[in-house]
A and B are shown apart, each in its own frame.
Chain A
């Protein structure tokens, strides 16, 4: 396992587009929720995986594990500063090297509960480097917490800092108050800017912001203003998502008239990409831009088909080659945090290989190395995939570079049909 994700399912109000698992008005359950997360962590590995994982640990099969330093190879500056810690921790498959608190709104935990949670995780069987409690999460290569601008009180950010978090991801979404309001975000652009400044003052050197393309009324002028402000503030990472109308959300039920068309969204995305590249950002994944050395290692692990454990209701995991997910139900989670598995996905090696190919093609720079894929899954299981990749590159949808394939940049916004053909023809 490389990554540990904790899902914090609390929010103050529901955004119009949101279909994440998060609950309103349940903050009174935060304490018991934290205890349950620690119980779930304490019971690791999940009973159905105990045998598999032991086998894997004793085998230490190098072909299944990507090279230890792969996570860092494209980002030399990060590699320099973090290499030593990384190597040390990568020894044990049972502990994590990246930590990610997502939600929901993790910043709603408040200083007390966050401290309990992190300290608890560091004395759990998952803790890296033999429970170095005194070092906080600095013994983890990358530890991120998502922060919503309205709940980024200075004392909370200070706690985050003290606990050793080294990366913050702000849910900015837009710096136009109009746009924020139109989808029911409860913070202003000023709050977002202030929160980021505060974080910088506290010495955070790896800050990310989420932006949404396709908000009602959005234009290139308004989007550009948001981008420019954030870039000028010197943040290191931007996640740029496209607004999706998810079934059952208020936005999908009553779509406003001024929702940007697909054409406009595509245009906004192209402009964004060009602008950020001109400012030195690397477009390393379809939705993610980073200054060199600041790609999100936790998320990179997802795109590389890596293993991770998700704690909390609705959290997804990938361990011992199996993907599974907890029920999205806070109450049942609190009652029985270790008995929440909603499904366990059984895929054949061929299907796993195709899945990983599709995931890795999202990594625009790194791409997909077919030799490594064949090594990991066996030549027989990747033959068909390679044939399909070759065909796609002949059609100009992928770019072939030796044994590596990458998505053609102009096809980023229409990549689903391409990935669909990678998975199956």
Chain B
């Protein structure tokens, strides 16, 4: 049945249903008038802007001065992207005169933050699927739509940005049909920018998205789909109540650990935390229970009532499979404990990162972190710095290699410095992904050329319609983390999008390259490369290092070596002139400020033997390919 037909039928059935049972409906109102939905789309298709309009039309916000109000994190505002999914509850009076409670979750579109989407879906019954009318269906349109379909959500297709002169509404309808089997005709036309079509979208949401199931009379059962740490109130889980209800003074039990806590506050998002008397089945909200012990609660856990310990847990979330790893170390070795605490709290708000203790001869104690991709890594490091005040050094990102030793054993190694001695290695395998690149046909050539450079193997090329191609590659993940995505965007003038899954491990001719700074091997700078390009890479890296490490009072040789063999070398000559020998008159302040700035810079240096290495040396190397 086509969606619009379904829509009609649905309205009809509700009307028919309501007439004879009018008195009963009042009893069920709690559930019947709730709609939980999320907005999903490819990056930049206008999810957060649509959320703005919805908040405005329901009177939650008054002005439109701040675009994308739900992107409240500084980093989100700076980059103009959504990083965290955000819930907000809105009252809505439909045209039929009834009052509804709508709970909207705005999700991020970037593939690295996909886990935010899949968790949000669990709290919803419907999903508004946006397609940018000027871009058409892109990789994450498809990936996110499938996630929602698999989660059993009602999909409401919406074509956005119809105000744009280059809007191609008909093509979008066709693409929805062809790529997803969604009846394109039923797609609503919206401009999140000027508000066109948003009232109709509201009506469609209340009509099409089913109200939540479950009853407040049954024992308590809630899913923790997100959380954060508040210094005063401890861990604050974001929850979707599937049955039962919660209020101040209740006792709750964490199903996985059996721990019991006293509820101190319950409420919902407006999008700030707004306390309320109680929240009941079907609703999305938060619960505060002064849970100060950070490790005691996890996203994906079920909250139940201690009176009904037998209540079954809700299946949690699939575990994320990090793609990229890097080491992080406090600049000041003594800050390791603080870093540990920061990571524990950070993980509450981003359950897709994984971390594990590690140590480096050059950098001391730290952690190895796993991320969903390079943007995720960049954002995480920046958040740790800004929100948790951590001054960190991050090492070069790496993938997990499978190292098969001569004794027939194998080890999965995510840190190049942990590689066994070359003589003990039989062979090394690298992770391969299936990469799908969606691109207008005119860019197929440049994309194939770019991918060839990256050792990609083309396995299929499809044409979902005349204008677009989907290239499917077997692609080495290691090549993905050295700037492939940025280049893909630039060779296709922004039109290409991509999506990937893990495929498996393939053997290759790999070597481990060590970097020596003034004869000291810096384990944190070791990297894995295919033999063929190891020398070019090493030269590039050494050259970059030479520019990054400031001159010091002595000469500093920089070398790259495989085993004991030097394959690249450059020297940093000794510092010869750094002096204030200028006539400043009595302007001592200026002099002092110059020196203070230098002293400030020094604090960000890490000692490698006798050499001061700036922290950027460890991070900037990841851009080695450019």
- State whether A242 and B579 are in contact (beta carbons under 8 Å apart), knowing that A323-B588, A414-B553, A421-B602 are contacts in the complex: yes
Contact B599 A263 (CB under 8 A): no
CB-contact partner of B581 in A240, A318, A420, A423, under 8 A: A240
Closest Cβ of chain B: how far from A5's Cβ, in Å? 6
Residues of A within 8 A of B578 (CB): 413-417
5 residue pairs of the A-B complex, CB under 8 angstroms, read A242-B579, A287-B581, A416-B579, A417-B602, A423-B595
Contact A417 B588 (CB under 8 A): no
Q: Which residue of B lies closest to A411 (CB)?
A: B553
> Among residues 236 to 273 in chain A, which have CB atoms less than 8 Å away from a CB atom of chain B?
239-242, 244, 262-263, 265-266, 269
Q: How far, in angstroms, from A318 to B585 measured CA to CA in the complex?
A: 12
Q: Which 4 A-B pairs have the closest CB atoms?
A: A266-B576, A420-B598, A262-B577, A420-B599
- State whether A244 and B582 are in contact (beta carbons under 8 Å apart), knowing that A359-B588, A420-B598 are contacts in the complex: yes
CB-contact partner of B595 in A240, A317, A419, under 8 A: A419
CB-contact partner of B583 in A7, A210, A263, A359, under 8 A: A210
Closest Cβ of chain B: how far from A282's Cβ, in Å? 17
Contact B592 A286 (CB under 8 A): no
- State whether A413 and B577 are in contact (beta carbons under 8 Å apart), knowing that A423-B596, A424-B599 are contacts in the complex: yes
Contact A423 B592 (CB under 8 A): yes
Contact A325 B592 (CB under 8 A): no
Contact B577 A242 (CB under 8 A): yes
A310, CB-defined interface residue at 8 Å = yes
Q: Which residue of A lies closest to B600 (CB)?
A: A424
A302, CB-defined interface residue at 8 Å = yes
Contact A325 B595 (CB under 8 A): no
- State whether A316 and B585 are in contact (beta carbons under 8 Å apart), knowing that A263-B576, A286-B579, A416-B580 are contacts in the complex: yes
CB-contact partner of A424 in B553, B585, B589, B596, under 8 A: B596
Contact B595 A358 (CB under 8 A): yes
A102, CB-defined interface residue at 8 Å = yes
Interface of B is mostly: loop
Residues of B within 8 A of A244 (CB): 582
Contact A242 B596 (CB under 8 A): no
A308, CB-defined interface residue at 8 Å = yes
What is the size category of the interface that chain B forms with chain A?
A: 20 to 34
Residue interface mask B576-619, A partner, CB < 8 A = 1: 11111111011111001011101110100000000000000000
Q: How far, in angstroms, from A421 to B600 measured CA to CA in the complex?
A: 10
B461, CB-defined interface residue at 8 Å = no
Size of interface on A: residues with Cβ below 8 Å to B: 44
A345, CB-defined interface residue at 8 Å = yes
Residues of B within 8 A of A323 (CB): 588-589
Interface residues of B (CB under 8 A from A): 553, 573, 575-583, 585-589, 592, 594-596, 598-600, 602
A53, CB-defined interface residue at 8 Å = no
Contact A242 B598 (CB under 8 A): no
> Among residues 204 to 243 in chain A, which have CB atoms less than 8 Å away from a CB atom of chain B?
210, 213, 239-242
New A-B pairs, 17, CB < 8 Å, besides A262-B575, A310-B586: A5-B586, A102-B585, A210-B583, A242-B577, A244-B582, A302-B586, A316-B585, A316-B588, A323-B588, A325-B589, A413-B578, A414-B576, A414-B577, A415-B579, A416-B598, A420-B599, A423-B592
Closest Cβ of chain B: how far from A15's Cβ, in Å? 12
Contact B595 A7 (CB under 8 A): no
Contact A316 B592 (CB under 8 A): no
CB-contact partner of A316 in B573, B580, B581, B589, under 8 A: B589
Residues of A within 8 A of B580 (CB): 286, 415-416, 419
Contact B595 A420 (CB under 8 A): yes
Contact A287 B585 (CB under 8 A): no
Residues of B within 8 A of A325 (CB): 587, 589
Contact A414 B585 (CB under 8 A): no
A412, CB-defined interface residue at 8 Å = yes
Residues of B within 8 A of A411 (CB): 553
Contact A265 B576 (CB under 8 A): yes
Contact B599 A423 (CB under 8 A): yes
Residues of A within 8 A of B575 (CB): 262, 414, 417
Closest Cβ of chain B: how far from A144's Cβ, in Å? 12
Residues of B within 8 A of A417 (CB): 575, 578, 598, 602
Contact B581 A242 (CB under 8 A): yes
Q: How far, in angstroms, from A215 to B599 measured CA to CA in the complex?
A: 29
